[in-house]
Amino acid sequence: MSGVDLKLAVAPLTTGVVGTALPRVDGRLKVTGAARYAADQQVAMGPAAARVLHGVALCSTIARGTLLSIDAQEALALPGVVAVLTAQDLPKLKKAVADFGTTSQPGEARLLFADDKIHYVGQYLGVVLAERREQAQAAAARVKLRYLTEPPVITTEAAMPTAYTPGTGFGGEPSYRRGLPEREFADAAFKHKQTYRTPIEHHQPMEPVASIAVWSGDELTMYESTQWVAGARSVISQMLDLPVEKVRVISPFVGGGFGCKGFIWPHSLLAALAAKKVGRPVKLEISRQQLVSACGHRPETLQTVALGASADGQLRAIMHSSVSQTSTVDEYSEEAANVSRYLYRCANVQSVNQLVKVNIATPTIMRAPGEAPGLFALESALDELSYQMKLDPVRLRQKNFAEQDPLHQRPWSSNQLRECYLLGMEKIGWSQRPAKPRTLRDKNWLIGYGMATATHIGFRSPGAAKVTVQADGRVLVQSATQDMGTGTYTILTQLAAAELGVAVEQVTVELGDTRLPPAPMSGGSMTAASVGPAVQAAAQHAISQLKVLAARDPQSPLHSKRPEELGVDHGALFVYTQQQQRESFTALLRRLRLPSVVGETSVDAPENNAVSIQSFGAHFCKVRVDAELGLVRVAKHVAVLDVGRVLNPLTARSQGHSGVVMGIGMALMEQTRYDARSGRPLDDNLGSYLIPTQADVGDIEVAFVQTPDSHIGPHGARGLGELVFTGVAPAIANAIYNATGIRVRELPITPDKLLR
pLDDT for position 170: 76
Please calculate the CA angle 144-362-257 and round it to the nearest 5 degrees.
105
What confidence tens digit (pLDDT) does each residue in 169-216 have? 777 899 999 999 999 999 999 999 999 999 999 999 999 999 999 999
Strand partners, 211: 224, 284
Percent of the chain with pLDDT over 90: 94
CA 630, 634, 636, 641 torsion-angle sign? positive
What secondary structure does DSSP assign to 552-607, as a single string?
A: H-TTSTTTT--GGGEEEETTEEEETTEEEEEEEHHHHHHHTT-SEEEEEEEEPPP-
What is the DSSP secondary structure assignment for residue 107, as one 8-state letter? S
- pLDDT at residue 1 above 80? no
What distance in Å separates the CA atoms of residue 585 and residue 596, rounded to the nearest whole number?
9
pLDDT for position 327: 98
| Peptide bond preceding 748 in cis form (omega within 30 of 0) | yes
What confidence tens digit (pLDDT) does each residue in 53-83 have? 999 999 999 999 999 999 999 999 999 999 9
Q: Residue 572: left (phi > 0), alpha (psi -120 to 50), or beta?
A: beta
CA 374, 292, 92, 50 torsion-angle sign? negative
Average pLDDT, the chain: 95
Burial of 504 from C-beta contacts in 10 A (0-12 / 13-18 / 19+): middle
Single-letter code of the amino acid located at 590: R
What's the predicted TM-score (pTM) here?
0.96
Strand partners, 146: 69
What confidence tens digit (pLDDT) does each residue in 547-562 have? 999 999 999 999 999 9
Strand partners, 467: 477, 599
Taking the CB of residue 358, how many other CB atoms lie within 10 A of it?
27
Q: Are strands 349-358 and 404-405 parallel, antiparallel or unpaired?
A: unpaired
For the chain, what's the residue count? 756
What mean pLDDT do residues 135-139 have? 98
Maximal C-alpha separation, the chain: 88
Cα-to-chain-centroid distance, residue 430 = 31
pLDDT for position 101: 60
What distance in Å separates the CA atoms of residue 571 and residue 593, rounded to the nearest whole number?
18
CA dist list (Å): 176 to 105, 318, 333, 345, 724: 26, 11, 15, 16, 27
Name the pLDDT band for 97 (thresholds 50, 70, 90): confident
H/E element holding 531? helix 527-552
Q: What are the helix (H) ranges across 149-295?
A: 156-159, 181-187, 229-239, 266-278, 291-294
Domains of the chain: 27-35+461-603 (3.30.365.10), 370-459+609-754 (3.30.365.10)
Q: Who contacts 79 (Cβ-Cβ below 8 Å, separation ≥6)?
A: 135
Nearest to 26 by CA among 414, 342, 384, 483: 483
CA dist list (Å): 699 to 20, 441, 622, 690: 24, 19, 10, 20
Please calculate the CA angle 379-307-366 and round it to the nearest 5 degrees.
35
- pLDDT at residue 720 above 90? yes
What mean pLDDT do residues 340-356 have? 98
Answer yes or no: are the C-beta atoms of 194 and 745 closer than 8 Å: yes
Answer yes or no: are the C-beta atoms of 601 and 538 closer than 8 Å: yes
Percent of the chain with pLDDT over 70: 96
Answer yes or no: are the C-beta atoms of 449 and 621 closer than 8 Å: yes
What distance in Å separates the CA atoms of residue 390 and residue 396, rounded to the nearest whole number?
10
Q: Which residues are catalytic?
A: 722
Instruction: Return the HEC string of 388-409.
Output: HHCCCHHHHHHHCECCEECCCC
CA dist list (Å): 698 to 264, 409, 431, 652: 37, 40, 20, 19
HSE-up (13 A, CA, CB side) for residue 600: 11
Cα-to-chain-centroid distance, residue 482 = 12
Q: Who contacts 431 (Cβ-Cβ below 8 Å, separation ≥6)?
A: 425
- pLDDT at residue 7 above 50? no
Nearest to 511 by CA among 520, 499, 501, 503: 520
What distance in Å separates the CA atoms of residue 590 and residue 691, rounded to the nearest whole number?
55
Identify which has the larger pLDDT, 170 or 305: 305
pLDDT for position 298: 98
- pLDDT at residue 423 above 50? yes
Answer yes or no: are the C-beta atoms of 383 and 437 closer than 8 Å: no
- pLDDT at residue 259 above 80? yes
What confidence tens digit (pLDDT) does each residue in 489-532 have? 999 999 999 999 999 999 999 999 999 999 999 999 999 999 99
What distance in Å separates the CA atoms of residue 44 and residue 719, rounded to the nearest whole number?
39
HSE-up (13 A, CA, CB side) for residue 476: 15
pLDDT for position 16: 59
What mean pLDDT do residues 105-133 have? 96
